[in-house]
Chain A
Amino acid sequence: MIKAKHLFAYAVLLLASTFSHASEQSSTKPSILALAPHIVEMLYDVGAGEQIIGTTEHADYPEAAKKIPRIGNYVRLQIERVIELQPDIIIAWKSGNPSDDLQRLAQLGFTIIYSQPNTFNDIAKELRYFGKVTGNEQQGEQVAKAFEQQLAHIESTYKGKEKITTFYELWSRPLTTVAKNSWPQEFLTTCAAYNPFEQVATPYPQISVEQVLAMSVQLIIQPLSVNQTEREGFNWQDWPVIPAVKNKRILQPNADALHRMTTRSLTALKELCAEIDSIRITLPKTAKGTNTK
């Protein structure tokens, strides 16, 4: 259980950030080009939402972000439009932006800073950083602190709990899971779930169901996306030999909340850990996830 106090503080901060735009916004604050949905979301968190003058496709949260002019997607940026907009700062995401376009913008003399959150702690770091560079240092610090406190609370809640052998189904066709250096692995680690595929060399390994059978998996996590109506999960019902299937221990969290690296992911983390914990309680004490490798 999260302390109500923390939650309340966090809610107040978010509300404050929404209402503080008008008062904080002044002509001295830099204009920003935010080149990824998670960057847009974080900028709104630190109170710099009003300073965003352009973004890329799929930036749909919060609601106000839908009105920001689009200047490209993860394949190609419209360099001409960027020159027209003349942003003071460009915040880019190396993984999701075309590197040749970013280099071009740097050559043209634009200031580019990078967002690259790989862990929950990185989110807090970037909230502070974005607050600083956009002239919203105070709010950035507050939001980051609240985030860190909540994260620490969740981490301490599940630290040392008995590990439960979990299979994370990223995609069903081909059956793909996650390993170290992937974002969902952060969730599994924090929630004390043991991922038997964690040590595989590639971050998103494709595997066969045969490998899952050999792991005696206690729990299956099958994130589903609300936006993808046609997305079908893997049909685990055909494999009742897997303990997780036999005992109906399949979780289906919201994929969109899990897979975007923002403050909202903390809520997703909290919910997932709680769900995993509720299953952990029902397991017999001997069914301990052990490394079969």
Chain B
Amino acid sequence: MTKLKLTFIALIALTVFSLAASITFGPANISTSELMHCLFSQCNNAISHTVIWQVRIPRVLVALVAGMGLAVAGAILQNTTRNPLADPYLFGIVSGAGLGATVASISLANEMTIALPLAAFLGALLSVIIVMFIAKVLQSMEQMLLAGVAVSFMLAALTQFILYFGEPFATNRVIFWLMGSLARVEMNNFYVIAAILLASLIAIFALHRQIDALLLGDDSATSLGVNVDKLRLLMLALCAALTATIVAYCGGIGFVGLMIPHIVRQVVGVTTLKLIFGSALIGGSFLIWVDVVARSSLMHAEIPIGIITSALGSLFFLFIMYKSRISQ
């Protein structure tokens, strides 16, 4: 128990350190002393003030809650479906959001600030509803991920069809939007994501024993008095809301939900409460640092953040498969 406590203290320290350290990275040249002035008293000039308070701090905070949210959504999905490879993205959430973004880019080009996140959110929600409906018809949890993959392809095909007839440059916009970026975020986005994250964490905290029971199998959970279908539906709805919101503001950031919970299981354990809070802390720190790489590794440009997470994620995915082959 003390070891676990120490681990969590270390993780919290890591998160706080990540938050503080990452603010010092960025394309604008701001010295550490200037940064300290800005944070604790008054900026020396208006430029630094704008960069720090309107660009960097919102970005770092959104990276924190988006990383936390994606990791938590992945962890809860893996535990409720008992599928170690479950990831919110396999539910067609990104292709649904992409479809929404496409429709918004083509038809509402002048109202993008509000229309794009809203349309992306609705598209993501649409895909989740379709997947859940299919899974219900098939009466099978195992088929749910396959249904998600099928729906993903269907929505992607629709998106491409619309883009083909749209303005050629809109195509580029949507493609790059899907690659994910934290460059466009504002403080408001942080508040919205943080609120949904907090609500999800409270719900998970209240139900964590029931979710643990699910790990034993549906029959065992039912005999322990858990309403399996209802619980699973609630958790899926939380995951969908969390992921769809993050995708709407940040675009496609893949694989965080898949990768982070697996690392956390190695570090702190598999039961829900430990897994969720561990995932939140590691996921938040991870995305903060990935975004630092995205915004400061190239001299004159940014790397879309989704490229970095997907590259790391796919290698990690193969690594897990390889390890599970050995253990069988």
Contacts and interface: CB of A to CB of B under 8 A. Distances in A.
A133 B299 CA distance: 30
Main DSSP-derived SS at the A contact region = loop
B283 interface: no
A71 B300 contact: yes
A100 B113 CA distance: 7
A203 B163 CA distance: 12
A57 B172 contact: no
Contacts of B172: 74-75
B51 A103 contact: no
Contacts of B109: 99
A89 interface: no
Interface stretch (A76-84, A150-158, A231-239, A244-252): A76-84
Interface string B238-270: 000000000000000000000000000000000
Contact of A75 (B26, B28, B112, B301): B301
Interface string A56-89: 0100000000000111111111111101101000
A98 interface: yes
Interface stretch (B176-184, B224-232, B320-328): B176-184
Contact of A203 (B168, B173, B179): B168
Nearest to B302: A76
B304 interface: yes
A240 B186 CA distance: 60
B29 interface: yes
Determine chain B's interface SS by DSSP, over half rule.
Answer: helix
B173 A72 contact: no
A95 B173 CA distance: 9
Contacts of A202: 164-165
A100 B165 contact: no
Nearest to A109: B50
B304 A108 contact: no
Nearest to A84: B28
Most buried by B among A71, A94, A96, A99: A99
Nearest to A80: B28
Nearest to A75: B176
Given A83-B50, A99-B109, A203-B168, A72 B300 contact: yes
Nearest to A103: B113
Contacts of A203: 167-168
A256 interface: no
A201 interface: yes
Interface in B120-167: 164-165, 167
Interface in B270-328: 295, 299-302, 304
Contacts of A100: 112-113, 116, 183-184
B47 A98 contact: no
Contacts of A98: 173, 176
Interface in A17-72: 57, 69-72
B112 A78 contact: no
B54 A101 contact: no
A204 interface: yes
Nearest to A201: B165
Interface in B38-85: 47, 50-51, 54-56
A116 to B, nearest CB: 11
A79 B301 contact: no
Contact of B26 (A80, A86, A101, A201): A80
Contact of B183 (A73, A79, A84, A206): A79
Contacts of A81: 27-28
B169 A80 contact: no
A95 B169 contact: yes
A54 to B, nearest CB: 10
Interface in A188-222: 201-204, 206
A79 B112 CA distance: 18
Contacts of A72: 300-302
Contacts of A70: 299-301
Interface in B73-129: 109, 112-113, 116
A206 to B, nearest CB: 8
A77 B55 CA distance: 12
A224 to B, nearest CB: 20
A288 interface: no
Contacts of A101: 183-184
B302 A83 contact: no
Nearest to A181: B167
A85 to B, nearest CB: 9
Contacts of B169: 94-96
A83 B55 contact: yes
A78 B167 contact: no
B27 A78 contact: yes
A104 interface: yes
Contacts of B28: 80-81, 83-84
Contacts of B56: 80
Nearest to A76: B302
A26 B41 CA distance: 38
A73 B55 CA distance: 18
5 contacts: A76-B302, A86-B47, A94-B169, A100-B112, A100-B113
Give the 3 A-B residue pairs with the shortest CB-CB distance, closest first: A80-B28, A70-B300, A95-B169
Given A70-B299, A75-B304, A76-B302, 9 more contacts: A73-B301, A75-B172, A80-B55, A83-B55, A84-B28, A100-B113, A100-B116, A108-B50, A201-B165
